Chain A
Amino acid sequence: MVDLISFIISAAIVLGGALGVVLFANPVHNALSLIASFFGVAVLFIIQEAHFLALVQIVVYGGAIVVLFLFVIMLLGVDRIEAVEEEALVGQRGTALLAGVLLFGVLLGGLFFSGPDADVAPEAGRTAITGRQAQVVPLTDEQNVTQLGRDLFTRNILAFEATGLLLTIATVGAVVLVRNRGAEDLVVDEPGSAAA
């Protein structure tokens, strides 16, 4: 029961934050709504006892990613109001809304009108949607961090190394992209510098 109440509250926060991201006109407000949404998702993870992911969700998403967004917004000075009334394409809003409703309907249809056949679902909650047993790494009563760490560093060690490589490539790529190659000198306005 406590689970259900926490779920309803955090789901409201998640969806409200998401609507804020889509509907607010000011990019700063969008970023702040995004934090609210991420925080709600972290609470959902805690309800499901994925404690490590909840922590990482707040640190990486709420901390690093949204701060990066805000930093870019402030750096570029694009925190002006987007012309919300003006539509670039005729009928873009309506078509997008229709596509979203259709997508939601298709997802719900897939959720409620598919599922395991009654004869291949021996125990509820332990079979995948396909009706087959799906356990690869069974959850135990150990601490969540212990289990996740063991799975990461044994079964998924190659993928883990690959993500390290991916992050390195992303960092190098970002530096290369924003480098001011051979352009005008950086204006340094510290006292004592010769640049004007």
Chain B
Amino acid sequence: MILTETWYLVLSAGLFSIGAVGLLVRRNPLVMFMCVELMLNAVNISFVAFSTALRDLSGQTAVFFVLVVAAAEVVVGLSIVVAVLRRRPTATADDLVELGG
């Protein structure tokens, strides 16, 4: 058996699906963020797999930018979570419906 890019893509699909299910199931906003990170990582795996398979560097450059954007997204997202949870420490994602005014 030879390791081809198909293995990586199947793994990527599985990781993405697990992250999506976690995002739908969990109600703690922090854990939902972690699931988003899992999905981003799944996409990174497939980017690098395609980059290796097609002998093209662009995929790895794309992963670099995904990393930067993920870092920025976590910073802003976590500060929003802190701003919400500081007021109501038991809040779940469902309680954010009260933001509707």
Which residues of A are at the interface with B, using a C-beta cutoff of 8 A? Answer: 3-4, 7, 11, 14-15, 18-19, 21-22, 27, 30-31, 34, 37-38, 41, 44-45, 47-50, 52-53, 56-57, 60-61, 64-65, 68-69, 72-73, 75-78, 82, 88, 92-93, 95-97, 99-101, 103-104, 107-108, 111, 125-128, 134-139, 144, 147-148, 151-152, 155-156, 159, 163, 166-167, 169-171, 173-174, 177-178
Interface size class of B (residues with CB under 8 A): 35 or more
The distance in angstroms between the C-alpha atoms of A144 and B55, with both chains bound, is: 12
Given contacts A41-B41, A44-B45, A72-B82, contact A14 B15 (CB under 8 A): yes
Query: Do residues A45 and B17 form an inter-chain contact, with CB atoms below 8 A?
Result: no
Given contacts A7-B3, A178-B79, contact A93 B11 (CB under 8 A): no
Task: Return chain A residues, CB-CB under 8 Å to B2.
Answer: 4
How far apart sit A48 and B19, CA to CA, in the bound complex (Å)?
23
Evaluate contact between B56 and A136: CB separation under 8 angstroms: yes
Q: Is the CB of B21 within 8 A of A100?
A: yes
* Chain A neighbourhood of B89, CB < 8 A: 76-78
Q: Is B28 in contact with A82, judged by CB distance below 8 angstroms?
A: yes
* Residues 1-41 of B at the A interface (beta carbon under 8 Å): 1-3, 5-11, 13-22, 24-28, 30-31, 33-35, 37-38, 41
**Chain A interface mostly:** helix
Asked if residues B71 and A60 are in contact (CB atoms below 8 Å), the reply is: yes
Name B's A-contacting residues (CB within 8 A).
1-3, 5-11, 13-22, 24-28, 30-31, 33-35, 37-38, 41, 44-45, 48-58, 60-61, 63-65, 67-76, 78-83, 85-86, 89, 92, 94
Q: Which residue of A18, A31, A45, A174 contacts B75 across the interface (Cβ within 8 Å)?
A: A174
Could you say which of A11, A18, A64, A107 has the most chain B C-beta atoms within 10 Å of its C-beta? A18
Cα(A77)–Cα(B28), bound, Å: 13
